[in-house]
A and B are shown apart, each in its own frame.
Chain A
Amino acid sequence: MILRRLQYELAARAVGPFLTALDDWQRRAKGTKARTGPFSPPLESLRKLKDMMTVHYLSGRYADGAVPVAWVTSGFPVELLRPLGFHTVYPENHAAMCGVQRIVPELSDAVEAEGYSRDLCSYVRSDLGSLDTGRSPAGRLPRPDLLACCTNICQTVLYWYRDLARRFQVPLLLVDTPFVYGEPTDHQIRYVADQLEEGIEMAEKVAGRKLDRAALSEAARLGRDGSQLWGECLETARNRPAPWTGVDGFFHLGPIVAMRGTEECNAYYRMLKDELQDRVKRGIGGLRGEEKHRLLWDNLPVWYATREITTLLGNGGFNFVCTTYTNAWAEASSLIDPADPIVSAARTYSMVMLNRDLPNKLRLLSRMTGEFGADGAVLHSDRSCKPYSIGQVDLKDRLASEYGVKTLLLEADHNDPRAWASELSSNRLTAFMESFG
C-alpha cells in the first residue's frame, strides 16, 4: 500500500512532469511545425493541456491500491468525491481518446462479438471493448473502487455502470435526476439532494474516511470558479474574429470534465483565458484567412472527423465559434453555492441541458447564436446520443424560420467511424456553404 502510494505520487509529481518536460524539450528542439490547413498556429496552452492530461493518465496507472479510485460519468457532481481523496477516471473522456485514435471499430467488434448491440452508444462500446481487449490510448486505467453515475446526461449510463459494477464487483453510487420540464420542483431538488447525502455515506465507506464539510465547500467553490473560467474562455469567441475554433474547445474541455474542483484545473483555464484574450487584443483569429461566416455546433463532436469537417469549412472561411457541448460545462456554474454544496449541486446537476426540455434547448440555441453572432448552425444528429439528438429536426425548422439561422442536420456518430459517410457528409457541408451565397 505504502509502496503503491509512493509509485502513484512519483508518477504524478516527478516521472509524469519529467516525461512531459522531456517531450516538450524534444519538440522545441525539432521546432514546431506550422499547422497545415486553414487554421492559425495552435495555442501555446495546448502544450500545457497535453502535459496535464498525460500526467493525469500516467499517474492513474498507479492509482489503484494507492488511493481510492472512482470511475465517474461526465455529469456527476464530482466535487463530492474530491475531499475524500479519490483519483477520478472519466470513461467518456477515455472513450473519446479511443475515438480520436480511430481504434473504435476494433474495440466495438470485440463487444459486439459478446452480444452487445451496435445500437448501443459508441462510448460504451469503446470502453467495454477496451476492457475486453486491453487496448487503451492511456496505457491502462486504474481499477475502480467506486462507480459514480448520474443519469442527468442519459439513461444509458445507468446500464453501462451496472455492467461495470458487475465486472468489477464494486459499489455503484447512482444519482437519479428526474427530467426537468420547465423549472425543477422543490421536491425534485430534495429528492436528488437526499441521494447525494446517501452517496456521501457510500463514498466515505469506500474511501475509509469521513467527509470534511469545509473541504467540500472548498471543492464546490473550485468547481464553480472552474466552470466560470471555462465560460470566460468560451466567451472570448464572441469577438470577431473568434480567437480559436469551437473545435479547439472540444480538446480544451479535458480539465473541466476530468479535473473539475481542483486548483490545477482552474490555473489551467486562467492561463488559457489570458492567451485567448491576448489573441483577441492582437486580432488573431482561429482561422488564418478571413472569418466570413460564424457557426454554432450542436451535439458531441465527431471525434474521428473533427479535423476533416473543420478543414472543409475553414477553407471556405467558416468558423465554429460556439458549441452547445462545450457550453454545457460553463452554463450552470452560477448555481453552485459553496455555503450549501449539497442542495446547490442537486439543483445545478438537475438543470444540465440534456436533462431539460426542448423549449429550453431552443432558447439556448437562439441565445447562443445571438450572443456569438453565428449566422449558421450545424446540428450533428448523433446516432450514439439519442437524448442530445432528439428534437433536432424541429429545432432546425424553428431556428431557420424564427431566427433566420441557416441550419444543417449532419448525420454521424460521435465515436464510431463506421457510421460516417465522408463523401456524403462533405457534399452536404459544401452545399450548406454554397447556400450562404
Chain B
Amino acid sequence: MSGAAIGIDVGSTTCKVVAIDAAGNILDRRVEPTDPRIERQVERLVGELRAAAGPDAPLGATGYGRKRVPGARALTEITCHARGAFARARRAAVLVDMGGQDTKVIRIGPAGEVIDFNMNDKCAAGTGRFLEVILGRLQVPFDGLAERVAAAPRAVPVSSTCTVFAESEVISLVAADEPLDGIVKGLHTALASRVAALARGTQAGDEVLMSGGVALNGAMVAALREALARPIRVLPDPQLVGALGAALSVVATR
C-alpha cells in the first residue's frame, strides 16, 4: 500500500506495533508482552503487519529495544510520543506518558516539536511497574479497579516512594486492618504526586494529554487529575502512541 508505514515500540513491559496509512490512520496493530528475545518477536510481528502495510513499508522503531529492530529508523520514546500525541491532539500540549518502567512529562510545541521533557529518576517508583508489583502482591485485579478506588471513602496514606519499601509498607497496612480499597487508593495518590512533581513548571490550567499503558487504568487517571488539578484527556489507544509516532516519523521522511 502506497505511503503506508510500520511503527514499533519495544517497551520494557509490552511490545506495540502499528501499521498506518499515509494519513496516519491505524490499519492494523499488535500488543504483546515483550519477549526477552526481542529480534525474533519483532520479526514475527512486523511480518504480520506487512500484510496491511505492504512488503516495502518503511519501519520506525522506538522504546528501549529500538536498536534491536533491524532496518528501522530508531528514535527515542520522547520524540515518538510527542509525534504520536500531536498527530492525535493537533495542538501544543503537555503529555504525561506512563509506561512500564518510565514516566515522562513532555511539553509539545505548536508544530509538534519537543520543547522540554522530564523523566522519572533511575528507579521504577512512579511507573506502571510500581502498581503492577504492589497490586499483584495484594491480589487486587485490574478489572473494576477504577470503580473500587472511586468508591473508597478515604485514601490510606502510603509514604514510601520506593517500590520495594512500599511493598512492605502496604503489607503492614493490611496487617493493621486498614481497608484494602483505601490502601489501593493511597497507592494511586502517592504515585500521582510523584508524576505531578515531574509536571511542575508546565503551565497550569491547560488540559493534559495522557498516553502509555497506565492510562488504561481509570483510577490512575482520576488520581492524576486530582494531583495536577487539571483536566486530563486520555489519547485514543494510549498504549500505541509511541508506535504511532515511530511510524509517522518514517512516513514523514519518505
Min CB distance A340 to B, Å, is 45
Contact bitstring A412-429, B, C-beta under 8 A = 1, else 0: 000000000101100110
Contact bitstring B198-223, A, C-beta under 8 A = 1, else 0: 00110000000000000000000000
Cβ of B118 under 8 Å from chain A:
yes
Contacts of B117 in A (CB 8 A): 431, 435
**B76:A431 contact, CB within 8 angstroms:** yes
Q: A397-B201, A431-B114, A435-B113 are in contact. Are A411 and B121 (CB under 8 A)?
A: yes
Known: A406-B116, A411-B122. 11 other contacts (CB 8 A): A393-B200, A406-B115, A407-B116, A409-B118, A423-B64, A427-B76, A434-B114, A435-B79, A435-B114, A435-B116, A437-B113
Q: A397-B201, A423-B64 are in contact. Are A434 and B79 (CB under 8 A)?
A: yes
Q: What's the interface size class on B, roughly?
A: 10 to 19
In chain B between 82 and 124, which residues have their CB closer than 8 angstroms to a CB of chain A?
Answer: 113-119, 121-122
Cβ of A400 under 8 Å from chain B:
yes
Contacts of A437 in B (CB 8 A): 113
Cβ of A117 under 8 Å from chain B:
no
Contacts of B181 in A (CB 8 A): none
In the assembled complex, the Cα of A396 lies from the Cα of B119 at a distance in Å of 14
**B122:A435 contact, CB within 8 angstroms:** no
Q: Which residue of B lies closest to A428 (CB)?
A: B119
In the assembled complex, the Cα of A427 lies from the Cα of B101 at a distance in Å of 13
Cβ of A430 under 8 Å from chain B:
yes
Contacts of A430 in B (CB 8 A): 76
**A431:B115 contact, CB within 8 angstroms:** no
Q: Which residue of B lies closest to A435 (CB)?
A: B114
Contact bitstring A382-409, B, C-beta under 8 A = 1, else 0: 0000000000010011001000001101
In the assembled complex, the Cα of A383 lies from the Cα of B229 at a distance in Å of 31
**A434:B76 contact, CB within 8 angstroms:** yes
Cβ of B190 under 8 Å from chain A:
no
Cβ of B26 under 8 Å from chain A:
no
Q: Which residue of B lies closest to A401 (CB)?
A: B201
Cβ of B77 under 8 Å from chain A:
yes
Min CB distance A18 to B, Å, is 48
Give me 14 A-to-B residue pairs in the complex whose CB atoms sit less than 8 angstroms apart, sorted by A's number.
A393-B200, A393-B201, A400-B115, A400-B116, A406-B115, A406-B116, A407-B116, A411-B121, A411-B122, A421-B122, A427-B64, A431-B77, A435-B79, A435-B113
Count A-B contacts at CB 8 Å.
Answer: 39
**A434:B75 contact, CB within 8 angstroms:** yes
**B121:A435 contact, CB within 8 angstroms:** no
In the assembled complex, the Cα of A266 lies from the Cα of B200 at a distance in Å of 47
Q: A431-B76, A434-B75, A434-B79 are in contact. Are A424 and B122 (CB under 8 A)?
A: yes
Min CB distance B127 to A, Å, is 12
Min CB distance A290 to B, Å, is 20
Q: Which residue of B lies closest to A429 (CB)?
A: B76
Min CB distance B137 to A, Å, is 26
Cβ of B78 under 8 Å from chain A:
yes
- Which B residues form the contact surface with A (CB < 8 A)? 64, 75-79, 113-119, 121-122, 200-201
Contacts of B122 in A (CB 8 A): 411, 421, 424
Min CB distance A250 to B, Å, is 24
Q: Which residue of A lies closest to B114 (CB)?
A: A435
- Of the listed residues B64, B76, B121, the one surrounded by the most CB atoms of chain A closer than 10 A to its CB is B76
Min CB distance A98 to B, Å, is 23
Min CB distance B193 to A, Å, is 16
Q: Which residue of B lies closest to A408 (CB)?
A: B117
Contacts of B116 in A (CB 8 A): 400, 406-407, 435
**B121:A434 contact, CB within 8 angstroms:** no
In the assembled complex, the Cα of A393 lies from the Cα of B199 at a distance in Å of 12
**B78:A434 contact, CB within 8 angstroms:** yes
Contacts of B78 in A (CB 8 A): 431, 434-435
In the assembled complex, the Cα of A397 lies from the Cα of B107 at a distance in Å of 12
In the assembled complex, the Cα of A435 lies from the Cα of B200 at a distance in Å of 20
In the assembled complex, the Cα of A252 lies from the Cα of B6 at a distance in Å of 48
Min CB distance B51 to A, Å, is 31
In the assembled complex, the Cα of A431 lies from the Cα of B81 at a distance in Å of 11
In the assembled complex, the Cα of A293 lies from the Cα of B60 at a distance in Å of 25
Min CB distance B97 to A, Å, is 12
Q: Which residue of A lies closest to B202 (CB)?
A: A397
Contacts of A435 in B (CB 8 A): 78-79, 113-117
In the assembled complex, the Cα of A404 lies from the Cα of B168 at a distance in Å of 45
Contacts of B115 in A (CB 8 A): 400, 406, 435
Contacts of A396 in B (CB 8 A): 201
Q: Which 5 interchain pairs have the tightest Cβ spacing?
A: A431-B78, A431-B76, A435-B114, A397-B201, A434-B79
Contacts of B114 in A (CB 8 A): 431, 434-435
- Of the listed residues A430, A435, A437, the one surrounded by the most CB atoms of chain B closer than 10 A to its CB is A435
Contacts of A428 in B (CB 8 A): 119
Min CB distance A25 to B, Å, is 43
Min CB distance A407 to B, Å, is 8
In the assembled complex, the Cα of A437 lies from the Cα of B75 at a distance in Å of 12
Contacts of A424 in B (CB 8 A): 122
- Of the listed residues B64, B77, B113, B114, the one surrounded by the most CB atoms of chain A closer than 10 A to its CB is B114
Q: Which residue of A lies closest to B197 (CB)?
A: A393
Contacts of B201 in A (CB 8 A): 393, 396-397
Min CB distance B163 to A, Å, is 16
Contacts of A434 in B (CB 8 A): 75-76, 78-79, 114
In the assembled complex, the Cα of A397 lies from the Cα of B64 at a distance in Å of 27
In the assembled complex, the Cα of A400 lies from the Cα of B122 at a distance in Å of 24
Min CB distance A349 to B, Å, is 34
Min CB distance B12 to A, Å, is 11
Q: Which residue of A lies closest to B119 (CB)?
A: A428
Min CB distance A9 to B, Å, is 50
In the assembled complex, the Cα of A424 lies from the Cα of B78 at a distance in Å of 12
- Of the listed residues A411, A423, A427, the one surrounded by the most CB atoms of chain B closer than 10 A to its CB is A427
Q: Which residue of B lies closest to A423 (CB)?
A: B64
In the assembled complex, the Cα of A400 lies from the Cα of B115 at a distance in Å of 9
Min CB distance A435 to B, Å, is 4
**A431:B79 contact, CB within 8 angstroms:** yes
